[in-house]
Amino acid sequence: MHSVPGDRLFGLALWGAALSVAAVFAWLFVDLARLGLGALSWDFITTAPENAGRDGGIASILVSTLLILGVAVGVAAPVGLGAAVWLNTYTRAGGGTGRRIRLALDGLAGMPSIVFGLFGNAFFSVYLGLGFSILSGGLTLAAMILPVFIRTVEAGLGAVDDGWRRGAAALGLTQSAALAHVILPAAAPAIGAGLMLGIGRAAAETAALIFTSGYVDRMPESLSDSGRALAVHIYDLSMNVAGGDTHAAASALVLVALVACANLLAVALSRRLLTRRLAL
């Protein structure tokens, strides 16, 4: 087969597009590494920030980040699981209620995070009186990751073999027993993947947290303390702190590693789901 000039041009254009995407990422990463790799060390991770973050490390920031993520996942996982099971079990295929709710979820999934930040500030911080706290931030992130999580889990539940449901019913199992022992375990990879996608998105979040969990870079003592998330720390160092660039880059490297781990785990889980479905 010989190639026509038009085809070759088309191939080149595709290569160009792919390479430019890779180049942007490489440039970004090399830039971060050049600036921040020197500052990265075990001490950086385990000591508290000093001098507005120019010196010291990010220990308290990491703790705050993990606490915020913990609250977000701890709230989003059970609520999202319940919502997904409800959508899967009680809404008829093609029914109006289910369609409207799914549409709303898809809309919310594409909502800019700053909107969630404003909502979280108005609702959790002010209306519920939680103030600038890890709790407010975590709850706001929970609201933010719920739509994607619910839709992922629902898709996973939908992929579960209907024969198992009917088999469980024919054995006189209750719906909750079938769910707990058969359906949810079968959908576990999808649940894990949805959770990891959510964690990846939440860990990288800045806008939704500035107005809810705040800026304070001290080690948090409880969930009602304000806590500064890693992404907020990076934003603050690079925008408001002169001479904070090195530590901003180092923090960014830590964050990239965190998000990459979450995403790799998500990919691995969904791949397992796929191979398992093929094996059946």
Partner 1 sequence: MNPHTLGCIEAGTPCCVPVPHLSIENLAVSYGDTPVLSDVSLDIYKGCITALIGPSGCGKTSFLNALNRLTDLIPGARVEGRLRLVDGANSLDLLDPGLDVRALRRRVGMIFQRPNPFPLSIRRNLELPLREHGMRRADALAHKIETALSDVGLWEEVRDRLDAPALALSGGQQQRLCIARALVLEPEILLMDEPCSALDPIASGVVEEMIQSLSGRYTVVIVTHNLAQARRIGNYAAFFWMRERIGQLVEFGRCRQIFDAPVHPATAAYIGGMRG
Which residues are at the interface with partner 1 (CB under 8 A)? Answer: 92, 161, 163-174, 177, 181-182, 185-186, 279-280
Q: CB of 209: closest distance to partner 1 in angstroms?
A: 40
Question: Which residues neighbour 13 within 8 Å (Cβ) at sequence distance 6 or greater?
Answer: none
How far apart (Å, rounded) are the C-alpha atoms in residues 96 and 220? 46
Q: Which residues pair with 50 in a beta bridge?
A: 55
Cβ at position 196, least distance to partner 1 in Å? 22
Structure tokens at 92: 């008829």
Task: Identify the bridge partners of residue 55 per DSSP, sorted by sequence position.
Answer: 50
**8 vs 181, which CB is nearer to partner 1?**
181
Q: Which is nearer to partner 1, 20 or 175 (CB)?
A: 175
Q: Which is nearer to partner 1, 112 or 185 (CB)?
A: 185
According to DSSP, residue 49 is labeled E
In angstroms, what is the minimal distance from the CB of 276 to partner 1? Answer: 8
Question: What does the angle CA 216 – CA 217 – CA 221 come to, to the nearest 5 degrees?
Answer: 85
Residue 18 or 177 with smaller CB distance to partner 1: 177
**Residue 271 Cβ vs partner 1, minimum distance, rounded to whole Å:** 17
Min CB(195)–partner 1 separation in Å: 20
Min dist CB 182 to partner 1, Å, is 5
Reading the block at residue 130, the tokens are 């939680």
- Nearest alpha carbon to residue 252 among 37, 72, 50: 37
Q: How many CB atoms lie within 10 A of CB 216?
A: 16
Work out the burial of residue 103: count CB atoms within 10 Å of its CB; fewer than 13 is exposed, 13-18 middle, 19 or more buried.
exposed
> Residue 45 or 182: which CB sits closer to partner 1?
182
Nearer to partner 1, 62 or 178 (CB): 178
